């Protein structure tokens, strides 16, 4: 076991590293950044937590004896009344959820289209650009609908973009250097959204309660059977959350453009 005592590790970078079971005592983690990190089962005592921004899947998080997860969920639903509809249980609910997403995304795309085209390939605070976000959503659709549900072992378009921490996988594209135009990415996006629409329109209570057939070949998701509802909920969650990220970053780009005008 490695031990660091009275060590200066400022600015260190840990990537694809296993730190599970580690102990941090009297350490300075101020201004540290955690991305795609598994913090399950973490215990913190005597910590100072101020000006902290946490975004992710939060369950059974207890702060000073209070489980804050349900409080956070309730507040997010209050802020975004349509959010509760992203957890449907029947075919009609899924169709309503997709109607909402199509409407919301139409407004977001219109907002993006009012910016200078080069800004749509710019990152805000290290996050994906607007166009990269749309590319990632194409990947999510291809993976969970095209591959898992429709059985295509390799449904990906060359512009599809997996999440950054996904290991390189044969056949799965990951081109971070390409800079496609908004029109090109929107054509791919419309095609994938129409596929989701077709699948959701064809749902029945029986098919929604069913499981997918395992697909042959390496890729994502892994080749096994999945609950149909789980696949579609993943797509809804990806669409919902990434639109919020996009709206946040578009606001920053708009402010940047206004300052330079």
DSSP 8-state class, residue 67: E
For 164-196, write each residue's pLDDT tens digit: 889 899 999 999 999 999 999 999 999 999 999
pLDDT at position 1 is 75
Angle between helices 228-260 and 91-113 (to 10 degrees): 20
Q: What is the pLDDT of residue 45?
A: 87
Residue 66: per-residue pLDDT = 94
Question: Residue 16 has what pLDDT?
Answer: 83
Query: What is the Cα gyration radius of the chain?
Result: 21
> What is the structure's pLDDT at 154?
96
State pTM to two decimals: 0.87
Give the C-alpha separation, 161 to 173, whole Å.
7
pLDDT of residue 36: 81
Does a cis peptide bond (omega within 30 degrees of 0) precede residue 221?
yes
Taking each helix axis from N to C terminus, what angle separates 228-260 and 130-141, rounded to the nearest 10 degrees? 170
Report the relative pairing of strands 66-67 and 62-63 from DSSP bridges.
Answer: antiparallel
pLDDT below 70 — which residues of the chain? Answer: none
The beta-strand segments (E) located in the chain are 62-63, 66-67
pLDDT in tens, 111-150: 999 999 999 999 999 899 999 999 999 999 999 999 999 9
Q: Please count the residues of the chain.
A: 261
């Amino acid at each position: 076991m490695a031990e660091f005592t009275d060590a200066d590790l400022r600015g260190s970078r840990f990537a694809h590293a296993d730190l599970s079971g580690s102990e941090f005592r009297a350490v300075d983690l101020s201004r540290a950044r955690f991305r795609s990190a598994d913090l399950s089962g973490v215990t913190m005592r005597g910590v100072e937590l101020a000006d902290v921004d946490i975004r992710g899947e939060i369950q059974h998080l207890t702060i000073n004896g209070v489980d804050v997860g349900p409080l956070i969920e309730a507040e997010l639903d209050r802020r975004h009344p349509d959010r509760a509809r992203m957890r449907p249980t029947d075919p009609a609910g899924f169709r309503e959820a997709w109607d909402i997403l199509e409407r919301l995304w139409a407004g977001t795309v219109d907002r993006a289209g009012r910016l200078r085209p080069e800004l749509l390939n710019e990152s805000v605070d290290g996050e994906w650009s607007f166009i990269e976000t749309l590319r990632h959503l194409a990947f999510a659709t291809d993976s969970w609908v095209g591959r898992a549900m429709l059985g295509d072992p390799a449904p990906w378009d060359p512009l599809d973009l997996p999440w950054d921490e996904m290991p390189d996988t044969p056949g799965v594209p990951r081109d971070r250097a390409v800079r496609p135009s908004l029109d090109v990415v929107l054509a791919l996006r419309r095609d994938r959204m129409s596929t989701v629409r077709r699948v959701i329109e064809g749902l029945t209570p029986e098919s929604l309660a069913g499981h997918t057939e395992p697909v042959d070949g390496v890729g994502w998701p892994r080749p096994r059977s999945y609950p149909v509802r789980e696949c579609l909920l993943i797509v809804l969650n990806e669409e919902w959350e990434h639109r919020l990220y996009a709206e946040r970053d578009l606001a920053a780009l708009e402010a940047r453009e206004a300052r330079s005008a």
